[in-house]
Amino acid sequence: MSTTPRTAEDMTTESTTKSTTPETRKPPTAPVFAVEGLWKVFGPKADRIPADPELTALAPAELRTRTGCTAAVRDVSFDVRKGEVFVVMGLSGSGKSTLVRCLTRLIEPTAGTIAIDGEDVRAMDKTRLRELRRHRAAMVFQHFGLLPHRTVLDNVAYGLEIQRVGKAERRERAAKVVAKVGLEGMEHRRPGQLSGGQRQRVGLARALAVDPEVLLFDEPFSALDPLIRRDMQEEVVRLHREEGRTMVFITHDLSEALKLGDRIALMRDGAVVQLGTPEEIVGSPADDYVREFVRDVPREQVLTVRTAMRAASADETGNGPALAPDATVSEAIEAVARSGAPARVMEGGRCLGVVDHERLLGVVAGTEQRKEVA
C-alpha cells in the first residue's frame, strides 16, 4: 500500500531534480526553496524514525501502533523555482500544512534539509531564522490570524512594526498595500467588522507589506464562500502576474490547485505521490490514487494540444486552423468544430502535429490517456 506512492514519488522527484540540477540542463535561476528528504514525525522519540529503514517502511496506522508516532511529512523532496506558483495539494491530514510550516521552521522538521537560496534553513540560529521570517518568507493563514484589537492598517503594518520600522513610514507603506489588495477606505476598521474575504485580504496585505521573497499560503481560501473564494483566487493570479513573486500555495481544492499552480505536488499520508504540472497530473496520473483524485476534472480545460496531438500526415501540415502548443483542448475543440478539419499545432511557424476530432474526443472521454499508460 505504502510502497506504491513511494516509488511514484521517488520517480517524480528524481525527474524534477534532474531537470533543475546545473549538470543536466542549466535552469534559469537557482531554486528559492530546495527541500530534500524532509521528515516531520510527531510523537515520543520521533528522531529515530526517519533513520530506521524498518520503521519508515511501515504504513501510517502500523507506525502509530508500533511506536506511538505519527509521520506527518514522510521523506519529501522538491524545489520551488523562482517566480513560480508551487501548489501543495492533498486531503486533510495529508501533511501539507505541516510541510509548509516546516519551511520557515514554525514546526521544527525531524530530518532532511531545507535550503532557501542555497542557505541551510535548519542550521540557522534564532536571529537568522527571525530575519528569514521577517524579510524572506511571509505566510497567509487559513483563519487569517489577525490581531482583533488592531485596526486594518495597524494589522497590515504589524510585520513592519516587528522590524522596528518607524510609525510614519510603516503606516505609509501599509496604506499602499491596503490599496493594492482593494481595501481602501477600511483602514480604520477592526477585523471583527470585516467579512471573511476582506479579512483574508488584510492577511494577504500583511504578508505583502514586508515585501517578502516568497509568499506562503496555508489553505488561505478554504474558510471563504465559493464566490469570494473565486475573487480571491483571481486576486492572487493578478498579484502574481503583476509582481512575479514566488508563491507556495497549500490547498485541498483540486480546481484551485489547477487554476493557480505552475507545478503541483500531490500529497497523501505525508508523502508526495506525484509532482508535476497540472497537465501532467491530470494527463498522466502516477497511480490509481491520483487518477481517482483527478477523475472529475474537466480534462479538456487542463490538457493542452501538445499532449493531445498526433504526428501530422503530409497533407495535414499545410491546412487547417493553427493553434499554439499551450492551447487547451477545449480551445482546440472550438477551432476544430468551427472549421470542420483537424487543427495544426504550430510553434515558430513549424507544424508540431495535428489534433483531430478523434484525438480531442479521446481526451474528453479519458480513453486516450489510458491507452498511453497501458
By the criterion CB under 8 A, which residues form the site for another protein? 101, 104, 106, 129-135, 138-139, 141-149, 158-159, 161-163, 190, 192, 203, 206, 210, 216
Nearer to another protein, 155 or 233 (CB): 155
Minimum distance of another protein from residue 170's CB (angstroms):
13
Three-state secondary structure call for residue 69? coil
CB of 291 to another protein, least distance (A): 34
Nearer to another protein, 245 or 357 (CB): 245
In terms of C-beta density within 10 A (0-12 exposed, 13-18 middle, 19 or more buried), how is residue 282 classed? buried
CA angle 137, 122, 43 (to 5 degrees): 105
Nearer to another protein, 104 or 307 (CB): 104
Closest approach, Cβ 159 to another protein, in A, equals: 4
- How near is the Cβ of 146 to another protein at its closest, in Å? 7
Work out how close the CB of 328 gets to another protein at its nearest, in angstroms, rounded to a whole number.
36
Specify the residue, 144 or 221, whose C-beta has the smaller distance to another protein.
144
CB of 223 to another protein, least distance (A): 11
> What's the min distance (Å) between Cβ of 266 and another protein?
25
Q: How far apart are CA 267 and CA 106, in angstroms?
A: 20
Q: Are 134 and 164 in contact (CB under 8 A)?
A: no
- Could you tell me the sign of the dihedral formed by the alpha carbons of 150, 154, 158, 161, in that order? negative
Query: Which region holds residue 165: left if phi is over 0, alpha if psi is between -120 and 50, else beta?
Result: beta
Q: Where are the alpha helices (DSSP H) in 132-187?
A: 152-156, 158-162, 167-180
Question: Among 242, 252, 260, which Cα is nearest to 222's?
Answer: 252
Rank residues 73 and 327 by Cβ distance to another protein and give the closer one.
73
Minimum gap (Å) between residue 133 Cβ and another protein: 3
* Separation of alpha carbons 362 and 283, rounded Å: 12
Query: Which residue's CB is nearer to another protein, number 176 or number 188?
Result: 188
Q: How far is the CB of 112 from another protein (least distance, A)?
A: 20
Pair 178, 184: CB distance under 8 Å:
yes
Nearer to another protein, 192 or 340 (CB): 192
Q: Where are the beta strands (DSSP E) in the chain?
A: 33-42, 70-80, 85-89, 111-116, 119-120, 137-140, 214-218, 246-251, 263-268, 271-276, 322-323, 343-347, 350-355
Q: What order do you get walking across the sheet with 350-355 strand by strand?
A: 322-323, 343-347, 350-355
Tell me how far apart the alpha carbons of residues 255 and 76 are, in angstroms, rounded to a whole number. 23
Which residue lies nearer to another protein by CB, 139 or 183?
A: 139
95: left (phi over 0), alpha (psi -120 to 50) or beta: left
Please identify, using beta-carbon distances, which residue of 148 and 348 lies nearer to another protein. Answer: 148
Q: Which residues lie across from 276 on neighbouring strands?
A: 264
- CA 143-220-61 angle, 5° bins: 85
